[in-house]
Amino acid sequence: MANVRKRSRLDLELPATIRQSVERLLVEGETYDAIKEWLKDKGYDLSRSSIGRYGQGYLERVQNLRMLEDQARTLIGENPEMFVLEEAVSKVMTAAVLQEINTENFKIDGKSGILSDFANLQKASIMRERWKAELGRKVEKTAGEVEKDVKAKGLSESAAALIRKKILGISK
């Protein structure tokens, strides 16, 4: 039988605004005891261990998101053009979805939105690759035509080759 994940008391008993405040406190580094007291002041009596279990899972998810952001920044590097950004996000998102699917607790229920978004991301990736290939063909054709024209006008072979190389660099 699959390992069924129980929902946290924080998920079940706290309103979203209070839970978000707890999450903010966790990220800010508050202790579980301090959060327990803060919740008690708000009228919620939760154990330190409940807060700890929730906090551990939440902080793990935050850490994973930070790693994904860092990976996207690394993939983008010093070339933040839009299609490069989209390609980086696509790669990071694909890795995140595959990681989620590979967990033993993965359930398709309630994930249709994520899977639909992922399918749209994949379609966008295919369109991006087609666009890049088409751009590459157009730039290659234009570079060849320019090289031929400048040679016909008397430009040296090396100067024409340099112009061609610069033009081809546009699509890289």
Q: Quote the CA–CA distance of 104 and 112 in Å, as a whole number.
A: 18
For residue 84, the SS3 value is: helix
Is 70 exceeded by the pLDDT of residue 108?
Answer: no
Return the pLDDT at 51: 92
**pLDDT tens column, 60-105:** 877 877 776 676 666 556 555 656 666 777 777 777 777 777 766 6
What does the block give as tokens for 20? Answer: 């978000």
Return the pLDDT at 78: 53
Confidence of residue 42 (pLDDT cuts 50, 70, 90): very high
**Closest C-alpha to 119, from 84, 82, 80, 93:** 93
Is 90 exceeded by the pLDDT of residue 37?
Answer: yes
CA angle (79 as vertex; 135, 124 as ends), nearest 5: 50
